Amino acid sequence: MSALWVVVPAHQEAARIGGTLKALAAQRDRDFTLVVVDNASTDDTAALAREFARRAPFEVHVLHEPEKGVGCAVDTGFRYAIGHGAALLARTDADCLPHPGWTAAARGALGRGAGLVCGRIDARRDEHGPFGRAVFRLLVRTAALFGRLRPAHRRRHGYLAPYRMHAGNNMAVTARLYEAVGGMPRRPSPTDRLFLNRVRRHTTAIVHARDMVVENSTRRLAAYGLIGTARWYLDRGPGRHGEDPR
């Protein structure tokens, strides 16, 4: 069994998870085990994952996490993987398209001594044209700058490493570090930033791998609009909007 396990949390992703699974099957490094965590979906998300498992070029486990929330699904998936022998963990989301070198880049960075690897995200090309993708990149850069300048993220608060934006849909971590920091917070959102700060208080072994690329869904941009999306990335909440479309 492979030392690398890939975890994909999924909530109501029947329309998109097929693309994610296809992208994982197209990885150049397919020596990994996949865990899809169905997070209280009422659509065909889990059924599609089980169907894929029958023909997948690697081992696939499909779990059910009834407690809604991406942090809950990720933590359940990671702990399941560790319990079954995983030493290296990677995560993307069920609306994302990892590039063909994604697992190889994750394994390589962890093998060179990284504890946590933060990859590069871009907008999915099948959801928006050049302008929409450019807006998405601008929002990501703005959020990254805001994170670096935010007073609460400064190293005087006990952090061992400087803040760098961490996209939960494109990350890899050693099992040892994951357990040492207490894992992914299950609540409250945003859990990705809380997890990063747990790691920053524990180690400096955090790297950004530009060759570890995932195309991210821009449907939040379509649902919230430019201002609403900016509010979300700047941790101001969705404003008048309700449930996060992702």
Domains of the chain (ranges, CATH numbers):
4-233 (3.90.550.10)
The burial of 124, by beta-carbon neighbours within 10 Å (0-12 exposed, 13-18 middle, 19 or more buried), is given as buried
What pLDDT, on a 0 to 100 scale, did the predictor assign at position 241? 45
In order along its 246 residues, the chain shows pLDDT tens digits of: 579 999 999 999 999 999 999 999 999 999 999 999 999 999 999 999 999 999 999 999 999 999 999 999 999 999 999 999 999 999 999 999 999 999 999 999 999 999 999 999 998 988 878 887 788 778 777 777 766 767 777 877 789 988 887 889 999 999 999 999 999 999 877 788 899 999 999 999 999 999 999 999 876 566 666 566 555 555 544 455 444 444
Residue 75 to residue 66: CA distance in whole angstroms: 13
User: To which H or E segment does residue 170 belong?
Assistant: strand 170-174
d(CA 155, CA 11): 35
Q: Which amino acid is at 55?
A: R
The span from the CA of 207 to the CA of 195, in Å, is 15
pLDDT confidence of residue 1: 57
- How far apart, in whole angstroms, are the C-alpha atoms of residue 78 and residue 245? 24
